[in-house]
Structure 1
């Protein structure tokens, strides 16, 4: 929304900031007073306070706006219908402001730009002159697929301001209807008085978006006392069972609340009620349900019954019980907990969340070096140049959630990203180190774990253009899981001296309990992977394209290979897995083209039993590996950048050269293969970090960039 901030500052200087009484006469008849903060209800995401109830189908609601605190000329209050309670939701709002007449605004798409009758993009929908009118009374109507907005000076004669058909905005049948307030001044509360509300009975209130100051509602009978409960995502889904998750946001005025879930087969009428749990404070809660039917879609909702008789029902979420043999209906087959590492066992709702708002090394490094348990989230996308130096996570208990960045995400260049701490999780980032400028060879991985680190997970990341390897595991480490990563194009001759460093992954001496699950290795000659002395490794359901010497095991290495698929070329007369280590092999294949008939996948001398295997892990059949891994490997697979798309295309088409062997000119912008380091746009968005359910929130963000059917939380 374009406006002149200097006008507002002059108004402050003139002493005109106070309460604007609409209609010209102060009234004590306001029976609903709403306080709301927030930067605005506008642009791609909203910040404010909402007093609402869940509705479905048509509605006709009326309210009088009596007065508004003049925190800003664009503070606003009025009727709103929104598709969800997320900040980026589709919505329609009739707005009264201190400094302007009444008008109508809307957001047509989730996370899209807002517009209004007074904006260039929305003026064609206006039924009134210049898109505004003087009106204290508001009326919002939904009739089938059309939303109509009216204004009035007396509550009797109504003027149509806008008729928004489904071509303009097409929200779902169900949604939320009520009164919204924003101060347009993030640290200040704006109070709006309403009266004569008819057509809807709000039962809940909450802040929308990441406001700095919490809002509230008071009514003529003492205020809103209802509890607020929210439905979260589903987890642990199997063909016959699932875990339903929710959070009790507030108890209202009650001392306790009974919480539970209702679930049913989608499209049916009767709800099934789960076991109850009594809470005396706000908290997350969950219930396991069983007896589900595989392949069937279910819907569920959280419910809270407070001790004072009030109740609340959360929004409906859906999930599909997978067919037998497919344990994850959404996202990839593997996640970071499928290896030997425990993923973020330290994470709870009190864990500190650090927000990165600019794509710079200093901003990320500050978060990487902060002590204490923490989750790092991103409100910006972009390319982060590391300046030729390693960027390390140096403090334990760090979760890097690259999935929270707006499209196209975060890419690190010109430096190694390294986990030099314990109990860390890194998800959905890209690291493209390149040859650098110092001429150093050894240890120039794009992404790795440092020696002697413990219990680390790198999941759904991209590592490319490494020198020596692209993504490796440090020496004498324990419990390291690399899952669903896209690892490719180690540089064959990065300095023009004929040196061969076209490798993918090395498992350092003494590394124990390493799990390599669901990764893609592409366009490298060797170390796919290299298993060094005294290592113990599980290599399951990985896919490799273009290789030469492939994998090698030292004599004291122990490893389990199950369900891997390799295709491309190999040295005639040799095995895929070479060396004298102890190797268990099951369902490993080559194809398109297969290797020579006299070449085995594993050299003779292997063992007939698995040296190690994660508890509860079941591998996919090798026939499913290529299609699955190409769909899910790497950072943000539904939002891949050009180089990741290029690699997947080359694999799919069985095309592309088998190595990148040029010198520094490889990085010139006009180079035919890559065209230099990427330069991603710096897009921004606002994150609304929940007060509870943080782990589920992170999982939902991850699924939103892994699976096209899942929306961000």
Structure 2
């Protein structure tokens, strides 16, 4: 049995979790989904122009990130920002990074981890590709694409592309037990985070991570809350598509998972990591998601698996899971070591007004909308989506195993014209191209 203390069989539980009808409302392309977040980012602040692709110094992205006060960061350059292993740290609140303003080919940040340790941040239309860049296997220095840390809250990461992280591609984390009460813990770690319409793929497996194999999509860490994963595509990540850890509270809505290795979505409270702390009940809503096996997927891999010891309140509606030949695979997986109780959450715990597509529409409708620049695809994103459509893909250990490798775009320049943009939400007045 998946959960020894649960009276229902896995089959009966799956039926009970899937009984409700989804809300069939189309998502809006090109506009950031707010979820539980309450942020305006840098709205109303000064406009800062990025005028160089240099990793630091005057006119750089790093300088703009480190500035204080409300600010909207726009780009008068396009191309690759090679950080050479140095991190990008967002510690000043009220920030909008508007990658949509860059001239083609957009902004591609390589060889860096980006962390968010503040509040009221909106990041849109950027590509993040850390990679191992020649470092020794298991040598340490692992990097996320983006991770919320240290009490990050009211953050939106929308329409971005992530690949080749050596830890997770896109995560919400932080100190799990800061403070005296569980309410303190939740305030101290990431909360009210929305990750929407992102392309999240090819987390590196046997690379620099000290633990060895570490091809991961998203980690939603212990005691995070208000985390919404909405309309993303996860492809060719071995695990954590996504992983919600002990006491986490969040939702996955309208995501596509393709070619996972041996786990799709899972929940896990690890007792050894909670020594001396009272276990918290997690809460997870899974609505309108679709998983399809690929060439690297272990046969029988289920859509959702519960691991560890803690209890979980779970609502599941209108989720689909198929193998590479289109045959159904289990929605719920089995794990003999799991001792926590799975509690059916009768109603979805979702932000009010969230638009939800039927899971059966996702394979057609979602891929054209996701990633950093749907109107002008980077070759890496274009290849990934084309391969996914054909059922191709594999888990990789280094960026050099992708035939295209790191992006190599010639620098471009274009003056930013404020009159061409709605500065309230950084949408183009002429409309989103091809969306």
Structure 1-normalised TM-score? Answer: 0.49
Task: Tell me the C-alpha RMSD between the 2 structures.
Answer: 2.7
What is the alpha-carbon distance in structure 2 between the residues aligned to residue 421 and residue 629 of structure 1?
Answer: 30
What is the alpha-carbon distance in structure 1 between the residues aligned to residue 237 and residue 429 of structure 2?
Answer: 32
What is the alpha-carbon distance in structure 2 between the residues aligned to residue 407 and residue 440 of structure 1?
Answer: 35
After TM superposition, the structure 1 = structure 2 runs for residues 236-247 of structure 1, keeping only pairs within 5 Å, are none
Displacement of 1:462 in angstroms is: 0.6
Displacement of 1:557 in angstroms is: 2.1
Displacement of 1:593 in angstroms is: 3.0
Contact 1:588-1:601 within 8 A present in 2 as well: no
Aligned-partner SS, 1:521: strand
The match for 1:676 is: 405
Contact 1:331-1:703 within 8 A present in 2 as well: no
Residue-pair matches, total: 370
Deviation string for 1:321-380 (max 9, x for gaps)? xxx96556x625x7322x1012416623xx200001111221111100000000000011
Contact 1:460-1:484 within 8 A present in 2 as well: yes
Displacement of 1:675 in angstroms is: 3.8
The match for 2:82 is: 385
Contact 1:336-1:343 within 8 A present in 2 as well: no
Structure 2-normalised TM-score? Answer: 0.78
Contact 2:203-2:237 within 8 A present in 1 as well: yes
Contact 2:256-2:289 within 8 A present in 1 as well: yes
**Residue 215 of structure 2 is aligned to residue 489 of structure 1:** no
The match for 1:629 is: 366
Q: Give the unaligned 5+ runs of structure 2.
A: 1-22, 175-188, 270-280, 335-340
What is the alpha-carbon distance in structure 1 between the residues aligned to residue 282 and residue 325 of structure 2?
Answer: 27
The match for 1:659 is: 395
What is the alpha-carbon distance in structure 2 between the residues aligned to residue 463 and residue 538 of structure 1?
Answer: 20
What is the alpha-carbon distance in structure 1 between the residues aligned to residue 429 and residue 212 of structure 2?
Answer: 41
Contact 1:643-1:674 within 8 A present in 2 as well: no
**Residue 67 of structure 2 is aligned to residue 354 of structure 1:** no
After TM superposition, the structure 1 = structure 2 runs for residues 335-346 of structure 1, keeping only pairs within 5 Å, are 335-337=32-34, 339-344=35-40
Q: Give the unaligned 5+ runs of structure 1.
A: 1-323
Which structure's residues are more often strand, by fraction? 1
The match for 2:312 is: 581
What is the alpha-carbon distance in structure 2 between the residues aligned to residue 677 and residue 578 of structure 1?
Answer: 34
> Which structure is larger by alpha-carbon Rg, 1 or 2?
1
The match for 2:428 is: 700
After TM superposition, the structure 1 = structure 2 runs for residues 301-700 of structure 1, keeping only pairs within 5 Å, are 326=25, 331=29, 335-337=32-34, 339-344=35-40, 347-348=43-44, 351-362=45-56, 363-436=60-133, 437=135, 440-441=139-140, 443-475=142-174, 476-495=189-208, 499-547=212-260, 548-555=262-269, 556-568=281-293, 570-572=297-299, 575-579=302-306, 581-591=312-322, 593=324, 599-601=330-332, 605-610=342-347, 612-656=349-393, 658-661=394-397, 666-667=399-400, 673-690=402-419, 693-696=422-425, 698-700=426-428
After TM superposition, the structure 1 = structure 2 runs for residues 47-86 of structure 1, keeping only pairs within 5 Å, are none
Contact 2:42-2:96 within 8 A present in 1 as well: no
Deviates more, 1:531-540 or 1:676-685: 676-685
Aligned-partner SS, 1:365: helix
Contact 2:115-2:148 within 8 A present in 1 as well: yes
What is the alpha-carbon distance in structure 1 between the residues aligned to residue 126 and residue 154 of structure 2?
Answer: 19
Contact 1:441-1:468 within 8 A present in 2 as well: no
What is the alpha-carbon distance in structure 2 between the residues aligned to residue 650 and residue 425 of structure 1?
Answer: 30
Displacement of 1:592 in angstroms is: 5.5
- Higher RCO structure (Cα 8 Å, ≥6 apart): 2
Deviation string for 1:547-593 (max 9, x for gaps)? 12222212532100000000015545553211153211000002363
Contact 2:420-2:428 within 8 A present in 1 as well: no
What is the alpha-carbon distance in structure 2 between the residues aligned to residue 691 and residue 498 of structure 1?
Answer: 48
What is the alpha-carbon distance in structure 1 between the residues aligned to residue 430 and residue 244 of structure 2?
Answer: 30
Are the structure 2 counterparts of residues 606 and 625 from structure 1 closer, same or farther at C-alpha, using a change threshold of 3 Å? farther
What is the alpha-carbon distance in structure 2 between the residues aligned to residue 496 and residue 454 of structure 1?
Answer: 27
